[in-house]
Chain A
Amino acid sequence: MLALGANDAGAQSFELTPPPPGARTDRPAERPRLSNRLDGGRLRLAVGAQALTVDGSGARGFEQLANVGVPKPRVALRLSFEGRWRLGDWVQLGASAGFDWTRSAQDDLDAPIDAEPRTSALRTGYLEAVLFLGVSHTIAPSSTVDAGLRLAGGGGVSSWVWDGEPDLGALYRMSGSLDVTFLFGVESADGIGLRVGYAHARCGPFGALDLSFDLSGAFLDVGYTHGW
């Protein structure tokens, strides 16, 4: 700090004197701290797809349908909604609701007159508990990235539609995935995220044959996330 002093004969001179303890200085302010206030929770709405690569229920599942000419489904589409709340620096707990849908497959009867092709489709709705182990890292004043491992398990109701007639059964499912989300905002933020993982669900039994179907395979979804 510059102190202005005066001496005799009207002459002026400047001398440097140390600032008193505790006084403010004119040095440039420190860079603002990066925001890290998104430590409340997350809401996520996602759409995705799962490749159905494994039919683990043995013959009494999709194999039965393949026997009568109805091809196995290869992909399930997914819509899910999830809420998570932070319990610690790297632990979040939450719940998720989802809906899986496989397109209706039909057998390969040629040009039927009154022999309607057989059709089959699976619809599943589920609720599951979610454990998220990961970090939230602020990479810019208003940008945060969440990254971690997501584990989930739960159950629900499944509907197997056969020749237009639905039949209800129970299901359980579990999944593990890697989750990366970019959020933009300070007090609250919105962003987009990507999730890649593996899920397994078993639904049934259905009908007189006690059929059960496994929906197992890798999945990918893209989600819109709101954080606070």
Chain B
Amino acid sequence: MVSVPATRRLLGSLFALGSVLVTGCAICEPVTETLDDFEQRCGDAPCGWTADEGSIESQSTFHETEHGMWVGPGTTATLGVSSRFRNTPTRVAVTARCEAEARLRLTLIGTGPPPRDGGIDLEPPSGTIDVEGAADLFEVYAVSLAWPEGTRPDLVRVQTLGIGGCVIDDVLLSSTNDFWC
């Protein structure tokens, strides 16, 4: 026979456990991952990047021993990231600076889950950050992503527009852990 106090303790424990599961506790805190910090160099350029037009090269940023990616005028460069990330990103941030009258556009392109109704997904999910020129200093630029759950980042593309080039110090992705959330 189960006593009344023991039943109350059992119910209290179940209530506490249920509260943790419902609220997600700290499990749903956003996590940040580095998409690229440009410290891996292959020759004079960051590893993995391909310049479709223009030029890219590795360049010191804060310290002589720390590196970013210089994106020359009129450049379009891409990096494939499809195998790196498990979570759906909710925010993408880039630390960059541009020469006067230069502008940097960073586009994160995702691969969504197949449409449930059998339709055709014409537009891949994407997010774009525009970095305006005339910034002598590095700044952090960020944009939130409202991607459907299950969408994964697939490709990063950077373009320089206008006159001059830009330096990117790093690109970060934030996401919500998909366990319980």
For residue B49, CB closer than 8 A to chain A, the reply is no
For residue B101, CB closer than 8 A to chain A, the reply is no
In the assembly, what is the distance between CA of A106 and CA of B95, in Å?
A: 15
Residues on the B chain within 8 Å of A67, using CB: 137-140
For residue B63, CB closer than 8 A to chain A, the reply is yes
A103-115 CB contact bits vs B (8 Å, 1 = yes)? 0000001111111
Pick out which of these stretches binds chain A: B9-17, B28-36, B147-155.
B28-36
Q: In the complex, what's the smallest C-beta–C-beta distance from B104 to chain A, in angstroms?
A: 15
Chain B positions 18-74 with a Cβ under 8 Å from a chain A Cβ: 29-34, 59-66
**Cβ contact within 8 Å between B34 and A114:** yes
The count of residues in chain B whose C-beta lies closer than 8 Å to any C-beta of chain A is: 23
In the assembly, what is the distance between CA of A114 and CA of B32, in Å?
A: 7
- Take A110-B32, A111-B31, A209-B61 as given contacts and tell me if A165 and B66 are in contact as well, using a CB distance cutoff of 8 Å: yes
For residue B174, CB closer than 8 A to chain A, the reply is yes
Chain B interface SS verdict (over half): strand
Residue of B nearest to A60 (CB): B137
Assign chain A's interface to a size class.
20 to 34
For residue B136, CB closer than 8 A to chain A, the reply is yes
In the assembly, what is the distance between CA of A167 and CA of B65, in Å?
A: 10
For residue B172, CB closer than 8 A to chain A, the reply is yes
**Cβ contact within 8 Å between B64 and A110:** no
Q: In the complex, what's the smallest C-beta–C-beta distance from B82 to chain A, in angstroms?
A: 18
Chain B residues close to A by CB (< 8 Å): 29-34, 59-66, 95, 136-140, 169, 172, 174
In the A-B complex, the 7 residue pairs with the smallest Cβ-Cβ separation, listed nearest first, are: A208-B60, A115-B32, A207-B63, A67-B139, A115-B34, A111-B29, A112-B32
Q: A63-B137, A115-B33, A208-B61 provided; 19 other pairs, C-beta below 8 A?
A: A59-B136, A67-B138, A68-B138, A68-B139, A68-B140, A110-B30, A111-B31, A112-B32, A115-B34, A115-B172, A162-B66, A163-B62, A165-B66, A207-B60, A207-B62, A207-B63, A208-B62, A209-B61, A209-B62
